[in-house]
A and B are shown apart, each in its own frame.
Chain A
Amino acid sequence: MAARKKHSAMVPRKKHYRPAGKKKEGNAARYITRSQAIKQLQVTLGFFRRLSILKGIFPREPKKKFKGNNHTYYHVKDVAFLQHEPLLDKFRDIRAYQKKIKKAEAKKNADLATLLRTREPTYKLDKLVRERYPKFVDALRDLDDCLTMVHLFAALPAVERAKIDVELIHNCRRLSHEWQAYVCRTYKLRKVFISVKGIYYQAEIEGQKITWLTPHAMQQVLPDDVNFSVMLTFLEFYETLLGFVNFRLYHSLNVKYPPILDPKLEALASDLYALSRYIVSNTRTSTLEPKAASSSTSEQLEAKEKEMQGDESELRLAQLQHQLPSNEPGALMHLMEGAECENEDDQDTKECKRLFKNMKFFLSREVPRESLLFVIPAFGGVVSWDGEAAPYKEADQSISHQIVDRPTQGHKYLSREYVQPQWIYDCINARIILPTEAYLVGRIPPPHLSPFVDNDAEGYIPDYAETIKRLQAAARNEVLPMPGVGKEDLDDPQNLLVEGYISRAEANEAAQTKKKMVTLEKQYHEELQSELQGAVMKKSKQGSAELAKTSEEPVPDPKQIAEDIDTMSKLGMSRKKRGLLEAIEKGKERNTARISKLKERKKKLKSSEN
């Protein structure tokens, strides 16, 4: 037997013929198609889909598609991973249990059916969350889709036929508000963009940029060609994930999760505000606990800290009532903590925190309240709105800006500016306070630009982006405004400064381009001359009586030469590299075509204006 084995080992293995019963090799052994996987798992397609969504299993691309192109391939290990999932058994149990209920109902045994219903088996997804995201950062990295979906469902109506029930939507609303409250409270919001599709937000948490889209607060349409069961499966996982993420985030703030909200505010549907109040109050209570230990620390430090925080906290107090308990005895601990926090904050967060400092906003009825209530406090502003439970009323004299989105404003307070909501978003993206002239009530605001575009990489910079750039540069050079000076007084010198800067920058640019042109021209002339001389010299060297002298030989076009060199260098490349190069060139060409189209349109617009 042993000898035989040895002998068989000596025989070289045949690669291309696999006898029946022998193991498969290569891609055929490593991958299986979806239908094979379903067969192996002994589940229905719907089950499989649900399980793979929850587990985050996706098809993979084998190098060789052994069953053809129109199959979906899963890795064998992935399928085995599904097979060992306890949830699979759980789903089977649930299914069996559902059959029991059905049977009881069919036999008109209503008592049994209700009894069974009370004891239905349930399942949890927390293990899956942990398994898919072993670290918190992983979860944050993958949070984009989760947030977008939860925010979308928070805006959807409850529809029975699509099995979207009210509780689900309320849960989504709650989760999204919790998330927003955290982002707002910790000043982590970085960019906001109003697009036709909705409002994009970008926050930066633990170094991860998290972008999500919230739909506009309108009645959403539910299309018929959408399989809601797939979306609901995703949502089921996302809800769990976001819940755990929120828990962790709230935990880092020392706030209990899930938060218990003020029922009055909740009833008024101003959840976000209620939440922020909750967070604030909770952080206070939690930080107040160890105050006894700190009683021995010196009074001097305390006073100093108080002075530092005084200005800011007074304003915030008006809205949040008790953010910084600087008046309370022994609050040093908290202050120290706050200071530490600020030290930990990166430059960006500090900048964001300061953006709307010393500004007081009031929202009119017609502006998108939810978004602005989220955005303004996230950049250090104080905001109120027209409605019950608002922190302050419209008549408050200390309001500096009122956000209005109507053709005309009837009654105006002279002490405040009436601006359109886009001003807030543009300020946030530019990280400076923009002049309000262009955004005043009734005017068509300047274009709203995407903060996600790298203008230089794009190759085309819209006019307004350049204006903002100049304003930013001007603001950087600007001496920081005195805290006591009113906003109105500040605006004018700033504008003047900006205008001065703009004109100076333009002049500089013009001078530079001129210089460049001159040098280029000079160079060109020199080259021409040298070429002519060289040609003449060579001709004279030839020194023979030429009958048909090629006197009209065209001066070699530099463009042609460049092109020739390009084609020649392409000649020696391998086919693969040439293909790659051509693809790159094609991409570049497409980009330039797009840019030239934009420029052309701009030119047309200008000419039509003139």
Chain B
Amino acid sequence: MRLLMVNIFVFRRKIYDEYNDEEVELTKEETKLVRRLLKGKTPHADFDPYAPYVDWFKWEDAKHPLSNAPEPKSRFIPSKSEAKKVLGLVRAIRKGFIKFDKPKEEPRFYMLWGDDASSSEKTGHLSYIPAPKPNMPGHEESYNPSLEYIPTQEEINSYQLMDEEDRPKFIPKRFTSLRSIPAYENAVKDSFERCLDLYLCPRVRKKRINIDPESLKPKLPSRKDLRPYPATCYLEYRGHKGAVMSISTEASGQWIASGSSDGTVRLWEVETCRCIKVWEFGEVVQYVAWNPLPELPILAVTVGQDVFLLNSGLGNEEIQRKVKELLHVETPTAPEDSGNKVSGWSWCQDDEHEGIRLRHFKSVYSVEWHRKGDYFSTVMPAGDSKAILIHQLSKKFTQRHPFKLHGLPVSAVFHPTRSIFFVSTKKNVRVYDLLKQKLIKKLETGLREVSSISIHPAGDNIIVGSRDGKLCWFDMDLSSKPYKVLKCHPKDINNVAFHRSYPLFASCSDDCTAYVFHGTVYSDLNQNPLIVPLEILRGHASSDGRGVLDCKFHPRQPWLFTAGADSLIKLYCH
């Protein structure tokens, strides 16, 4: 149509008639007609589409209706479908589905907590734990804090090196006036995080512990009441050139012997600090032990693979004669049978030091005497099944400890009153009955490496020191687990010792200290032993990372001897 119009105007009312293949020129009337058609009007201008209606049918004179059909019944019956619709509406109105007046706007807020008194009904569910309130801001969060709250630039830089967890989340800033405060960039984030905390964090009601730290400490009897105990250093025994490995007190308490890494064993008078006698061995002296009998002043010394039994030369002639008799080996070598030969221990006379030399096949670590002074045990940690030997001095006889050791042996001790033998390996302590030849008990220390063991003079309690600085107290009647573990030293414990008569025990360690404890054992079995730490003894200096190597109590007095790696022996008195 548009094309046509264009044609009309551009080509002066000329139209190509395709059918007749000719060009037709429209007359003026014809173009007018086309235009009217385009406008949607009638083609002829004089035609009136809205002429008034004239009914051509004349009713007045007609005698009959146009249709003679009777009125249908349906015209007289009410509509069923309409009735259904009405019924539906009626029902809807009755049920309140259709409301004619607009619903009243209820006020959004009302008195929710009108009567607080009646609202104390118990809710059936779990207790509500209110969320903890956020922390209150401190001085440093102020927009204008005191200058000392503002970290320096170096400190701020150092925050970057910190672990992300430790890094302070808020760095104080200072603005000199209120107008210069910028918007806080984390405002929304902080709020969001609080939201997350509120609905994601498990809440637990925790009692706020506001305990006085003093109240945590156990109520122990006053130290003053537990006197006497060694507290201060009174004497020093100087003379050794190397670390003093071991000391031992004579039964009477008049003498002490010490073995050192400079290869000497020295005999000291306690009161005067005088060195009475020196034995030279030329090799590190591991261990010294006095015979517990006062009438047999014999000293057992371990040097490398040998155990020497030395005559200390003390006592009157009677005693000396007895000792010399004892320390005499008839047959220089005593391999009685082939079995011993293989194992290779031998009793022989040692003329150089006027004693007996008891040769072992591996280096000997320690010697412990039986209370009667006839037997003594030696420990060779590398000796496998023959690591622990029990020797009899009077018969110059040696026998093997007949039980399998589970682990490396550390020390072996006789029970102070009964024929019971304690062997401690690195982990456990085993208790054997020597008469019945059987295992009585196994004490589980739970320690990493046991270093020393000591038996209470009554025999029912033992203490065990370990290389991880812990001291275990075992009550044999109570359990095979420690009654108490005291973590007292930061470094290895080298030795532990009980006092023979006073309720004291001590531990010494490589951290150059020795602890003195009070340890009462009650005769009433129901009462647990009372353990009170009494004193920390200092004074030794460290050398080569080693501190106090040995500690022994005086047999009568509440005095403690300590042997240090700094070649000193100290006596602590009350």
Task: State the A residues within 8 Å of B (CB).
Answer: 49, 52-53, 56, 58-61, 72-73, 75, 77-78, 81, 126, 129-137, 139, 141-142, 144-145, 148-149, 152, 156, 193-198, 200, 211, 215-216, 218-223, 225-227, 230-231, 234, 243-244, 246-248, 251, 257-258, 366-368, 405-406, 420-422, 444-445, 447-450, 452-453, 458, 462-464, 542, 544-548, 550, 553, 560, 564, 567-573, 577, 580-581, 584-585, 598-599, 601-602, 605
- Is A548 within 8 A of B144, CB to CB? no
A521 nearest CB across to chain B (Å): 26
Q: Which of B11-19, B209-217, B419-427, B543-551 contacts A (4 or more CB under 8 A)?
A: B209-217
How far does the alpha carbon of A367 sit from the alpha carbon of B185 in the complex, in Å?
A: 21
Given A195-B137, A567-B536, A568-B536, are A215 and B184 also a contact pair (CB < 8 Å)? yes
Which of A216, A222, A548, A560 contacts B273 (CB under 8 A)?
A548
CB <8 Å contact, A215 and B216: no
A59-B200 CB under 8 A given contacts A547-B274, A553-B233? yes
Interface footprint category on B: 35 or more
CB distance A193 to B191 under 8 Å? no
B50 interface hit (Cβ, 8 Å): no
Chain A residues with CB under 8 Å of B273's CB are 546-548
Lowest 8 CB-CB distances: which A-B pairs, in order?
A218-B183, A452-B136, A568-B533, A136-B113, A602-B148, A447-B146, A195-B141, A59-B202
A373 and B148 CA atoms in complex are apart in Å by: 32
From B123, B130, B182, B195, name the one whose CB has the most chain A CB atoms within 10 angstroms: B195
Q: A230-B192, A571-B533 are in contact. Are A219 and B183 (CB under 8 A)?
A: yes
- Which residue of the partner chain, among B188, B192, B198, B534, contacts A220 with CB atoms under 8 Å? B188
Contacts of B109 in A (CB 8 A): 243-244, 246-247, 257-258
Assembled-state Cα–Cα distance A246/B488 (Å): 63
Q: Mark B248-284, 1 if CB is under 8 A from A, else 0.
A: 0000000000000000000000011110000000000
Across the interface, A194 reaches (CB within 8 A) one of B121, B143, B201, B203, namely B143
Query: 13 pairs across A/B with beta carbons < 8 Å?
Result: A53-B199, A59-B200, A59-B201, A152-B188, A196-B143, A196-B172, A247-B112, A447-B147, A547-B272, A568-B515, A568-B536, A581-B217, A602-B148
Instruction: Tell whether, in the assembled complex, residue A564 and residue B536 are in contact, meaning their CB atoms are under 8 Å apart.
Output: yes
Contact partners of B83 in chain A: CB under 8 A: none
Interface string of B152-174 (1 = CB under 8 A from A): 10000000000000000000110
The segment from B235-243, B302-310, B520-528 that touches chain A is B235-243
B216 and A148 within 8 A (CB): no
Q: In the complex, are the beta carbons of B187 and A197 less than 8 A apart?
A: yes
CB-defined contacts of A545 to chain B, threshold 8 Å: 272
Quick check: A134 and B123 within 8 Å, CB to CB? Answer: yes
Q: How far is the CA of A126 from the CA of B273 in the complex (A)?
A: 92
Contact B203 A60 (CB under 8 A): yes
Least distance between A504 CB and chain B CB atoms (Å): 25
| B181-229 residues at the A interface, CB under 8 angstroms | 181-192, 194-196, 198-204, 209, 211, 213, 216-218, 220
**How far apart are A57's CB and chain B's nearest CB, in angstroms?**
8
Question: How many angstroms from the CA of A318 to the CA of B211 in the assembled complex?
Answer: 56
Bound complex: CA A560 to CA B538 (Å):
10
* Distance A75 CA – B488 CA, assembled complex (angstroms): 45
A601 and B203 CA atoms in complex are apart in Å by 39
| Complex-state Cα separation, A222 to B487, whole angstroms | 55
Whether the pair B200, A72 counts as a contact (CB closer than 8 A) is: yes
Q: Which of B128, B143, B175, B185 lies at the interface centre, i.e. has the most chain A CB atoms within 10 A of its CB?
A: B143
Q: Is the CB of A572 within 8 A of B220?
A: yes
Complex: A193 Cα to B410 Cα, angstroms: 68
Point out which of B141, B211, B515, B538 has the most chain A C-beta atoms below 10 A from its C-beta.
Answer: B141
Q: Does B532 contact A (CB under 8 A)?
A: yes
Nearest-neighbor residue (CB-CB) of B191 within chain A: A152
Inter-chain contacts of B217 with A (CB < 8 A): 569-570, 572-573, 581
Using Cβ atoms and an 8 Å threshold, which residues of chain B touch A444?
Answer: 176-177
| Interface residue from A144, A145, A572, A598 paired with B218 (Cβ < 8 Å) | A572
In angstroms, how far is the closest chain A Cβ from the Cβ of B185?
6
Q: Does B104 contact A (CB under 8 A)?
A: no
Q: Which of A77, A149, A448 contacts B144 (CB 8 A)?
A: A448
Instruction: Give A601's nearest chain B residue, CB to CB.
Output: B148
Question: Hey, which chain B residues are within 8 Å of A584, CB to CB?
Answer: 211, 213
Asked whether B393 is an interface residue with its Cβ less than 8 Å from the other chain, the reply is no
User: Given A59-B200, A129-B112, A571-B487: A234 and B187 within 8 A (CB)?
Assistant: no
Closest chain B CB from A416 CB (angstroms)? 19
Residues of A within 8 A of B203 (CB): 58-61
| Complex interface: chain A residues within 8 A of B486 (CB) | 571-572
Does B39 interact with chain A (Cβ within 8 Å)? no
Chain A: minimal CB distance from B349 (Å): 35
Contact A134 B139 (CB under 8 A): no
Q: Are B200 and A450 in contact (CB under 8 A)?
A: no
